Structure 1
């Protein structure tokens, strides 16, 4: 297990929950509400972490002269994402929108959600957060091919290629599609987010290089990566949120023209890639905080939190509507939603997901980059 990574997953999940609390109190006031309003960056962190952790087996195999069995890779990806997803879909359909099962269009919606194609087919998602899982699945399929462009010393060319593809796609959408109020649904799908995953893969390529070093990177370098990456995230989020405005950003109608929507979002992933390397590569007080048992557990069940938090928020909305939009309200609402979401996520993880993941055991890459020590062939296979 790479130390600090589960904690970063927890941070991403909590950021997204904080952002969606806005469904309970639009136009909230106070510093807490303003901080929560940029919680959408949690999805960008999730994408970067996915690119990082999923590329590592491919990078390590190429370094050591081996290969990743694709059948095992795809089976494991399916076991990781499908059981919890289908459970969430089944419960939401049967408990909240059973009317879908009474019409032909309703069954089309259910089928497209179950097969991760709703966004591409122009059909509504039963759970709005499903859109990012469609991106994840597309990345899973593309990764074995993308990995060929990132292994060994080719990662610079691979990153440039992914950035060119992603930017070209987003520019083409903004330039050619008319009559929409928001480009979100078109832009935030594959290949519109390919470069966000690619920055995570770049972090993975650098990580595998660091594993061969006789000494880990210096603390000053690690902390500079964290500080620089975090500062970049804050700056980019501020530009999108306050200088441009989210609605103007997604409509492409700001003074930046199409360039804001083409260039800014992937830069967040570049900054998060620096944070991942800086946090995970060396012990520090930041990593120690992320390694606290409650934080790690939230990261462990973060997929379930992500799936369940928005239905819970919508369920609570009727109960708390009009009861205040202060910072205190946000904190209470956040605590309630996190508690309920974590409970559902824990049930999903322990009773469903672990059964398909071999008891929940994960591959155990080194906790931090360590010197590469050649091993006898027999020992290496044991």
Structure 2
């Protein structure tokens, strides 16, 4: 395809594909799908279902980097970015497929992975993540709500910071604020004991104000690339040791999440450590010092292209396959069940992409060419 249509990929829509970013997007969606498949009872190699949740954080880092890059590029020459154009492009990117899947969830209850679903207005207002509890249908829309709320603030913040010499203070304040807020919430929940998982989910994991670390660090990477090219060049040249450090940080953050108890310390430090590791991984992915950017992994571009459609629809597909397997007496841990699930997720994702997402991306592309 001439246009890059992977999720989220506004910045490189008319540029040559970047293999490193395609690989990260593909990895992110695979992690998310495998994680949710595990929740339905599918058994996967290497216990991927236990740590696949980090795929959402990887999407956050990518989104912050790419969206900020688009806005900063739009303000080239000291001018302000065209906010109307920005929000129009975001709407064409996000809303069509999202609204179609949302309509299916409310029109066809049998396809829901859980019987209950939050009120429609929460999805339409992109506030479904606020006060969200696990065990509800289309719960994975929480990450889209976090990003949508972030998009509303980001253009105005970047416009102001681009005119200030103290712009670097803002990301630091967001990160520090996240530390303090998570700590206060976790401490209030713990009562000197382990933090209850339900409270952690509702007030920390799904809440926008405690999940800004990866988005903020993604924005920071884009700002360094735009305003501190010498720093960015140094990071690129240091990609070999950054790679090892990134993997170590990510593994340690995952290890914290695997502990038996959710302590206050885990709630405070896990997300920023993971975000830092993933942002370092992003730097490695766009560096010519490593093969990630020089060599395209077969299939990565395809998976990256349909990633958004797959993200929206994968739970319905997995739920459907799980029901069929159970009715036929096929164990969900079998290779056949796993293959059926992968095939269903892929087919539904491709169908949604071709029927809904791609036509609107083409409209957006034609609009860009007219401007």
Bin the TM-score by the shorter chain.
Answer: 0.7 to 0.9
Identify the residue that residue 376 of structure 1 maps to in structure 2. Answer: none
CA RMSD of aligned residues (A): 3.4
How far residue 96 of structure 1 moved from its aligned partner, in angstroms, is 2.4
Identify the residue that residue 370 of structure 1 maps to in structure 2. Answer: none
- C-alpha separation in 1, matches of 2:300 and 2:107: 32
Identify the residue that residue 276 of structure 2 maps to in structure 1. Answer: 270
Matched, 1:239 2:256: yes
Which runs of at least 4 in structure 1 moved beyond 6 Å after TM superposition? none
Cα separation, partners in 2 of 1:214 and 1:142, compared to 1, 3 Å: closer
How far residue 357 of structure 1 moved from its aligned partner, in angstroms, is 2.6
Is the partner of 1:358 in helix, strand or coil?
helix
Identify the residue that residue 4 of structure 2 maps to in structure 1. Answer: none
Identify the residue that residue 342 of structure 1 maps to in structure 2. Answer: 346
How far residue 174 of structure 1 moved from its aligned partner, in angstroms, is 2.1
User: Out of 218, 221, 240, which is 1:223 matched to?
Assistant: 240
Alignment of 1:1-382 (within 5 A): 1=12, 3=18, 4-25=20-41, 28=43, 32-61=45-74, 64-96=77-109, 109-120=119-130, 126-148=137-159, 151=162, 154-177=166-189, 181-182=197-198, 183-187=200-204, 188-209=206-227, 212=229, 221-241=238-258, 244-245=259-260, 248-249=261-262, 257-282=263-288, 284-288=290-294, 291-292=296-297, 294-321=299-326, 323-324=330-331, 329=334, 333-359=337-363, 361=365
TM (normalized to structure 2)? 0.80
How far residue 296 of structure 1 moved from its aligned partner, in angstroms, is 0.8
Is the partner of 1:60 in helix, strand or coil?
helix
Q: Is the 8 Å Cα contact of residues 216 and 282 (structure 1) preserved in structure 2?
A: no
Which structure 1 residue ranges, 5 or more long, are not aligned? Answer: 100-104, 250-256, 365-381
- Counting matched residue pairs gives 340
- C-alpha separation in 1, matches of 2:125 and 2:76: 35
Q: Is the 8 Å Cα contact of residues 284 and 292 (structure 2) preserved in structure 1?
A: no
Is the partner of 1:317 in helix, strand or coil?
helix
Cα separation, partners in 2 of 1:164 and 1:64, compared to 1, 3 Å: same
TM (normalized to structure 1)? 0.77
Which structure 2 residue ranges, 5 or more long, are not aligned? Answer: 1-11
Deviation sequence 1:86-143 (CA, Å, 0-9, x none): 10011122222599xxxxx98x822322332333366885312111111111111121
Cα separation, partners in 2 of 1:112 and 1:267, compared to 1, 3 Å: same
